Amino acid sequence: MTSQGRFFVTGTGTGVGKTFVTASLIRATRHEQRTVAAFKPLMSGYAPADPATSDAGVLSAALGRPLRPPAEDDGSSLAALEALSPWRWEAARAPSMAARAAGARSLAATRPLIVRELLAWCRRALEGPEDVVLLESLGGIMSPITDNATVLDWAEGLRIPLLLVTDSFVGSLSPTLTALEVLRARDVPLAAVVVNDVPGRSLPLPAEVTVQELRRYTPFETPFFTTRAFLTAWPRQADKGLKKA
């Protein structure tokens, strides 16, 4: 499988801007008249009555196919959601915790999560004909997805370049450097670290400052970008090969 134009979008944690960055990349790709697909294979904290505001809804809107609530849906929105985000849980927890907390009865997932099936599903998605395919992970790089696997195992299984999104505030250096060490130790290919200014963050640091600080503690070739710089570089980045963390 070629990894050209294929990216696994993960982050140092939840709420760092993975969906914001992925949706921005979708729009930038479409703006270049290139084709793009995007997926959020695992989605927890999903409210079935309000698909549009979910991550899958935000990505689908960026793809030009906004999702409608069940009451207004002729079935096409649910089908689009299924295609984009087949494993869904209502509880805002790691999937393994959501499954344990909610029990099978209130589980909104359409199927039980088995890592082997997740990887096979993702590989099929990545083999699509689009110029660019983006997979948004959930949570952070070491978020549990089953009782014995994390997002890192998922990324390692796919071996496509990773976009590591991190927010920019006084406390973001440690989780970002920790994530980079882990990626290096597991030899996961890294396309970019995207340092994102999440609005309303307490103790914010301008992303440019965070990038400068991160560079002091990492190999010189580590590909750091602010969100703005990454979006500017994106048409070239989309075709790029791999760099080590």
Tokens of 185: 């130790």
Given the complex with ligand ATP, which of 55 and 153 has the nearer CB atom? Answer: 55
Shortest Cβ distance from residue 138 to Mg ion (Å)? 7
DSSP states of the chain as a string?
A: ---TTEEEEEESSTTSSHHHHHHHHHHHHHHTT--EEEE--EE-S--TT-GGGSHHHHHHHHTT-PPPPGGG--SHHHHHHHHH--EE-SSSS-HHHHHHHHTTTT---SS---HHHHHHHHHHHHTSS-SEEEEE--SSTT-EEETTEEHHHHHHHH---EEEEEE-BTT-HHHHHHHHHHHHHTT--EEEEEEE--TT-SSB--HHHHHHHHHHTS-TT--EEEHHHHHHHHHHHTT---B--
**40 catalytically annotated:** yes
Binding residues for Mg ion, total number by CB under 5 A: 3
Name which of 104 and 183 has its Cβ closer to ligand ATP: 183
Q: Is 18 in the site for Mg ion (CB under 5 A)?
A: yes
* Closer to Mg ion by Cβ: residue 158 or 165: 165
**Hey, what amino acid is at 92?**
A
Kindly state the smallest distance separating residue 20's Cβ from ligand ATP, in Å. Answer: 3
- Where in 46-65 is the site for Mg ion (CB under 5 A)? 55
Q: Residues in the site for ligand ATP, rule: CB under 6 A?
A: 11, 14-20, 55, 138-139, 196-199, 227
Minimum distance from residue 221 beta carbon to Mg ion (Å): 28
Strand 144-146, strand 149-150: pairing: antiparallel
Least distance in angstroms from the C-beta of 199 to Mg ion? 15
- Work out which of 19, 77, 210, 227 binds Mg ion, going by CB under 5 A: 19
197 binds, among ligand ATP, Mg ion, none (CB under 5 to 8 A by kind): ligand ATP
14 binds, among Mg ion, ligand ATP, none (CB under 5 to 8 A by kind): ligand ATP
98 binds, among ligand ATP, Mg ion, none (CB under 5 to 8 A by kind): none
Amino acid of residue 44: S
Q: Which does 153 bind (CB under 5 to 8 A by kind): Mg ion, ligand ATP, none?
A: none
When the beta carbons of 166 and 244 are compared against ligand ATP, the nearer one is: 166
DSSP string, 113-134: --HHHHHHHHHHHHTSS-SEEE
Among 18, 40, 240, 244, which one carries the catalytic annotation? 40
| Residues of this chain that bind Mg ion (CB under 5 A) | 18-19, 55
- Active site (catalytic) residues: 40
